[in-house]
Amino acid sequence: MKENAGKPAIGSAARMLGVREPPGRHADVQVGADGRVVVGRAGISVSASIATMPTHLIPDHLRRGHRALRGARALPPLRVWRLADAAFADGPVADKLDLLIDSPTHGVIRPDGPTGLFDYQAAIAATQPLWVIDEHD
């Protein structure tokens, strides 16, 4: 994600701490007719470790000297972040947010129940102080 003053930059654009909102073609979530986020298998994508991240998200400065990271293509203002001491396991990760693991290497942070898009984005933004840079295997 992009960095702002030592923490992830908050926003609804790609590579920011937040979800891309509908009706954009790359929206991370869907919103139902009732105006609430559809709780399912969508949300903020997270990886189990830097070694399992998509290479286009790994900053260029990390690929030098790391054989497993060759092919990384992300541009420099990006950093690799970890949500404090949260385990990579299904369950709560913060107030109003759950982690759903959908493969051994990928998961999504989603609302823990029905909520509006504004409240979901606010819950995500409230986690900003908990994120730390983690650029090691």
Residue 32 located in a structural domain: yes
The whole domain housing 19 covers 3-48+77-130
Question: Which pLDDT score is estimated for 54?
Answer: 84
Residue-wise pLDDT for 80-105, tens only, equals 999 988 889 999 999 999 999 999 99
Please report whether residue 62 resides in a domain. no
In a domain, 11, yes or no: yes
| Residue-level pLDDT at 95 | 96
- Has residue 72 been placed in a domain? no
> DSSP class of residue 21?
P
Q: Which residues of the chain have pLDDT under 50?
A: 74
| Residue matched to tokens 């293509």 | 73
Residue 126 lies in a domain: yes
**Residues 123, 130: Cα–Cα separation, whole Å:** 12
CA dihedral 26, 78, 84, 10 (to 10 degrees): -60
**pLDDT value, residue 135:** 85
Residue 8 lies in a domain: yes
Phi-psi sector, 101: left (phi>0), alpha (psi -120 to 50), beta: beta
pLDDT at 8: 96
Nearest one of 63, 45, 44, 54 to 135, comparing CA atoms: 63
- pTM comes to 0.87
- pLDDT at residue number 58: 78
The total number of structural domains that make up the chain:
1
